[in-house]
Chains A and B, each alone.
Chain A
Amino acid sequence: MEMMNELLEKYFRGETSLAEEKELKKYFSEGNVAAVHEIYRTLFEEFRQELNETAKTPLKKVIPVQRKIKQIWIQTFAYTSIAATILLLVWIQFPQTKENFAVIGGNKIENPEYVQRYTEKKLSKVNNILARSMEPMKSFNKVRQDVEPLQNVRNKMNAIQNKLIIK
């Protein structure tokens, strides 16, 4: 106890080393504190308690928040780049992957030359059919031309009839 008395006096004079102060803290944290020293127990206990005190809110958020903003920018840039790349690839690939075909007789034909020849042939056939369809119209014209003199006869007869009535 005498040694602790001296150490305490040295402590209050501000002359103790860190090691001696740790010894004092250990002494007051244990159960065998002399009654005369009991009054100082709370002081050393308070120092220990204050050491456990932490910041009210997590201060470590300061930097992660900044990093998060940076990460958001990086992620945005990355996603935009990826999206742009995908669009570019789709655009480049589109003409090659696009399927141009025709269905002829229920068959899928992808050969454009064949389809063109087939289409021209069919159009020619349609043309011929139309031409043939117009042939009867020529007969109608001929009949019309042949009947036209009869129309003149009819006109003359009407003229004669009119003269006779007048007279």
Chain B
Amino acid sequence: MSDVRYLTLLRHYKCMESTQFNSQILNHSDKLFRFAKSILRNVDAAQDAVQELILKLWEKRNMLDEVENMQAFTMRSMRNLCLDTIRQNREEVELAVEFEYIEPNPYQQTERSDLANRIRRMIDNLPELQRTIIRMRDVEEMEISEIAYITSLTENAVSVNLSRARQKIREKILNEQKRVEETIWK
């Protein structure tokens, strides 16, 4: 169900006060930002997306009182908005140059020796659904049921995608380790 349809079903509203809005939505803005950044792989685009979402939610705040799980609802709205942005910009297939993962040469290794940075790029290099799911689970520590709601998937499909994402990261880490060892022994 789309967010618009979901909202239109909520007929019996009470106006959400700004303090309530702050506590329920703005206090999660950092989480929304991380989520948007994971999907869009661009800090500025993520920032804009979160601002846009918050404004949209603020405009429809009188419709939000009936939402049971506000965090899951806002995350789902955030993902839909980010996917719309990607579709509009037609940037989904190819990674932006700044996020493209390139195997570092020995000179680059000295500059980018930070394994954490490389792991982050590995995650960014995953398909949108997989990187979204792995971050929701491993960074935000969300329940599978919540992730299923946000991604509009079944819980089983979420687990499968989570497993695939983790396996891919594991494979890349092992390859990275192997490559480093080979470089050392050459």
Interface, chain A (partner B; CB < 8 A):
11-15, 18, 21-22, 39-40, 42-43, 45-47, 49-51, 53-57, 59-60, 62-63, 66-67
Contact = CB atoms under 8 A, between A and B. Distances in A.
A40 B29 CA distance: 29
Contact of A18 (B123, B143, B164): B143
B78 to A, nearest CB: 12
Chain B interface helix/strand/loop/mixed: helix
Given A53-B34, A59-B47, 9 more contacts: A13-B167, A14-B160, A39-B177, A42-B119, A43-B173, A46-B123, A56-B43, A59-B51, A63-B58
Task: Give me the 10 closest cross-chain CB pairs, A-B, nearest first.
Answer: A14-B163, A14-B162, A55-B33, A59-B29, A42-B115, A54-B30, A47-B138, A50-B139, A46-B116, A12-B166
Contact of A55 (B50, B119, B139, B141): B50
A62 B115 contact: no
Contacts of B29: 55, 59-60
Given A39-B177, A46-B119, A51 B58 contact: no
Contacts of B177: 39
Contacts of A66: 58
B164 to A, nearest CB: 8
Interface of B: 18, 21-22, 26, 29-30, 33-34, 37, 43-44, 47, 50-51, 54-55, 58, 115-116, 119-120, 123, 135, 137-141, 143, 159-160, 162-164, 166-167, 169-170, 173-174, 177
Contacts of A40: 170, 173
Contact of B54 (A14, A22, A53, A62): A62
A140 B119 CA distance: 131
B25 to A, nearest CB: 9
Contacts of B166: 11-14
Contacts of A56: 33, 43-44, 47
B47 A57 contact: yes
Contacts of B43: 56
Nearest to B138: A47
Given A14-B166, A59-B33, A59-B51, A49 B143 contact: no
A62 B51 contact: yes
Nearest to B22: A63
Nearest to B33: A55
20 contacts: A12-B166, A13-B166, A18-B141, A21-B138, A21-B141, A39-B174, A40-B173, A42-B116, A43-B119, A43-B173, A46-B119, A46-B120, A46-B123, A47-B138, A50-B34, A55-B33, A56-B33, A57-B47, A59-B47, A63-B54
B81 to A, nearest CB: 14
